A and B are shown apart, each in its own frame.
Chain A
Amino acid sequence: MPDKRLSRRTAVVGVGTTAYGKLPEHDAYDLGVWALREALDDAGLGVADVDGLIVNRIPDYQRFGEIIGLNPRYASITPGQGRFSGHCIETAVAVIDAGLATTVALVYGNNGRSAGDRYGGATDAYGSGGAGFWFPWGMTSPGAFHALMAQRHMHLYGTTSDDLGEVAVTFRRHAALNPSAVMRAPFTLEAYHASRYVVEPLHLLDYCLINDGGVALIVTSAERARDRRKPPVYIAGFGQALQLADSTFPPDDFWRAPMALVARDVYGMAGLGPADMDALMIYDNFTPTVLFALEGFGYCPVGEGGRWARGRLGLGGEFPTNTSGGHLSESYMQGWALNAEAVRQLRGECGARQVAGARHVHYMACAPMVTSIVYGSERG
């Protein structure tokens, strides 16, 4: 497990986000540069201050470094899957702790909407790389994989479509307060039910929104963070665990085994538990994963996510969740924009959707790779 002494040893000092939507004049590199400039400006730093570079979804780290004229001491690139956003941030902490770099720029650029990315059909590669084997039966897409999980959750625990719809309705209500969100018009539970099925039991409104956009974060040591333009947001705890065995098929346990390991690590390092969290950022590729994460990270008993979440996740509720609108309503920025929102909430920059006095925000993502990060506004 990660060393507890890493708690609050690093901090986010800059966040940058582009517009989200259809931005055909920008490729993934351009979106990354746009976000990075915003993040550096936010931190009061320049490109020359960056000595570590981690890119995600941008096709090539070398070309990206060439475009921004960077000669870093450390660089890495990961697969363009959203589960890697938390992974990249955790790597930045380790890289800084190991002395490989002092100031790491994490850059994400995604032109998926303009490039016509498809998450189902002939180009589908979801899962462990063998998706094509199942095409003759018509099986394809991460949406179907999660529909199968949702159906089983409903069968085992009595979760309902209303429970899923409530998540979608709540996040859209948040997006209405976020000028950057792509979808801002609130809808009712009735409208949710009336929206077409894609892969039943999931409706269109259970799916995230594929868009163009970029996000960048600047992470540095707590010592260096003190001198920056804005108050540091400390990385108080983090953890990661994977469940890759038999991962061609939906996990029997809704990824609870890896989540239990990560929960122990992230809470243990932060010295905090669910009751201490002022806001939650949950990787919402599809509505069911929100419920799986709430159960896996101990917010509610196993199987009760659907009923428990009702009325608790909205602004003003017990655990305001995805205050930006999340992937379902702001934009599918693959976890990155949720981490940016966590930082902005802790700085008090969220305007109409601000959680008053937020001190701790908890990011979690459940997938074959589970990651989680607790951010805190105070050092100790």
Chain B
Amino acid sequence: MTPYGKPLPVTDERNRPFWEGARRGELCLQRCVGCHAFRLPASRYCPGCGGDGSEWARVTGRGTLESFCHFHKAYFPGFEGEVPYNVAVVRLAEGARLFTNIVGVANDRLRIGMRVEACFDPVTPEVTLVKFKPAGAPAARSVE
């Protein structure tokens, strides 16, 4: 089997729950216990209210495609065979945003405003990436 050549996440104490959630097939975000706002990237203090307390909570995984682009240049090893690949900004129903990839739809069918939902791509035994697919489409998982 070809070793996985793409960049792997650099996990730390602060963002580990995100990656652990993904491995379980759950999209989890940090939530302020004071004002209940979700946030990503993780931070000690809430950008909205300044609160110090936070917890990690599962979100619906439903969102909207806010924008997308297609990388024709492979800046990282492992992507050479996949250009052009898409990178998208998804705004979740809970308000937070993330950069991700949209799967299960051809690049030329991506449309800003389309509804998407989280799906989970186990790229290595340890790491699962949260990606998105058009809402209601069958799950698209990478082949082991």
- What residues on A are CB-neighbors of B100 within 8 Å? 137
- What residues on B are CB-neighbors of A250 within 8 Å? 66-67, 89
Q: Distance (Å) between the CB of B49 and the closest chain A CB?
A: 13
| Contacting residue for A140 out of B76, B112, B113, B123, CB 8 A | B76
Q: Are B72 and A136 in contact (CB under 8 A)?
A: no
Interface residues on A, range: 20 to 34
Instruction: Using CB atoms, name the residue of chain B closest to A200.
Output: B70
Q: Are B75 and A151 in contact (CB under 8 A)?
A: no
Enumerate B40-72 residues with CB–CB distance to A below 8 Å.
Answer: 41, 47, 66-72
Q: Are A140 and B75 in contact (CB under 8 A)?
A: yes
Given the known interface contacts A133-B9, A245-B47, the answer about A151 and B67 at a Cβ–Cβ threshold of 8 Å is yes
Whole-angstrom distance between the alpha carbons of A147 and B16 in the complex? 30
Given the known interface contacts A130-B41, A133-B15, A138-B101, the answer about A120 and B68 at a Cβ–Cβ threshold of 8 Å is no
Given the known interface contacts A246-B47, A248-B41, the answer about A137 and B87 at a Cβ–Cβ threshold of 8 Å is yes
Q: Are A138 and B69 in contact (CB under 8 A)?
A: no
B129 within 8 A of A: yes
Q: Size of chain B's interface in residues, with CB distance under 8 A?
A: 33
Q: Are A144 and B9 in contact (CB under 8 A)?
A: no
- What residues on B are CB-neighbors of A201 within 8 Å? 69
B84 within 8 A of A: yes
Instruction: Using CB atoms, name the residue of chain A closest to B43.
Output: A130
The digit string for A248-263, where 1 denotes a CB below 8 A from any CB of B, is: 1110000000000000
Instruction: Using CB atoms, name the residue of chain B closest to A134.
Output: B99
B115 within 8 A of A: no
Whole-angstrom distance between the alpha carbons of A248 and B98 in the complex? 9
B10 within 8 A of A: yes
| Contacting residue for A141 out of B8, B10, B47, B75, CB 8 A | B75
Q: Are A121 and B75 in contact (CB under 8 A)?
A: yes
Q: Are B79 and A199 in contact (CB under 8 A)?
A: no
| Contacting residue for A138 out of B10, B15, B66, B85, CB 8 A | B85
Q: Are B75 and A137 in contact (CB under 8 A)?
A: no
Q: Distance (Å) between the CB of B28 and the closest chain A CB?
A: 15
- What residues on A are CB-neighbors of B47 within 8 Å? 245-246
Interface on B for A, CB 8 Å cutoff?
6-10, 15, 41, 47, 66-73, 75-76, 79, 84-85, 87, 89, 97, 99-101, 112-113, 123, 127, 129, 131
